[in-house]
C-alpha cells in the first residue's frame, strides 16, 4: 500500500467553522476507511499549514478521499507520496 502525507490548510469557510474541525476529522477518517484508506495520524499544527495527515492505501482510493474532503469546502490539501527506506531503495534500484 502507498503512503501519503497531506499538508492541509483551512479555507475561509473552514476557519470560520474551526470548532467543528475535530468532528470533520472523525467524519474524514470514517469516509476514508470506507474507501479502504487507513488514516495513520492527524495533527493540528501552527504555521503555514493547519493540519498534517498521514494515510495509507491504494492511490486511487486516497485520491478519491482527498477530493471528497476538499469538495466540502473546508480545506485545501497538498499531498505527497511518502516512501520508507526499503521502498525508496527499491525505487533507487531501478535508476541506472
So what's the pLDDT on residue 67? 97
End-to-end CA distance of the chain: 25
Q: Please, what are the domains in the chain?
A: 2-93 (3.30.70.920)
How many separate helices (H) and strands (E) can be counted in the chain? Answer: 4, 4
* Confidence grade of residue 14 (pLDDT, cut at 50, 70, 90): very high
So what's the pLDDT on residue 9? 98
So what's the pLDDT on residue 8? 98
Q: What is the pLDDT of residues 24-65, one digit of tens each?
A: 999 999 999 999 999 999 999 999 999 999 999 999 999 999
> What order do you get walking across the sheet with 38-44 strand by strand?
38-44, 51-57, 2-10, 75-82
Predicted TM-score (pTM) of the model is 0.91
Nearest to 8 by CA among 59, 86, 72: 72
Q: What is the pLDDT of residues 77-88, one digit of tens each?
A: 999 999 999 999
So what's the pLDDT on residue 5? 98
Amino acid at each position: 500500500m502507498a503512503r501519503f502525507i497531506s499538508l492541509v490548510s483551512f479555507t475561509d469557510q473552514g476557519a470560520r467553522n474551526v470548532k467543528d474541525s475535530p468532528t470533520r476529522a472523525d467524519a474524514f477518517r470514517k469516509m476514508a476507511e470506507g474507501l479502504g484508506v487507513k488514516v495513520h495520524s492527524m495533527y493540528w499544527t501552527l504555521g503555514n499549514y493547519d493540519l498534517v495527515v498521514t494515510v495509507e492505501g491504494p492511490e486511487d482510493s486516497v485520491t478519491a478521499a482527498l477530493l471528497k474532503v476538499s469538495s466540502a469546502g473546508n480545506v485545501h490539501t497538498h499531498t505527497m507520496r511518502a516512501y520508507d527506506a526499503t521502498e525508496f531503495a527499491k525505487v533507487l534500484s531501478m535508476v541506472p
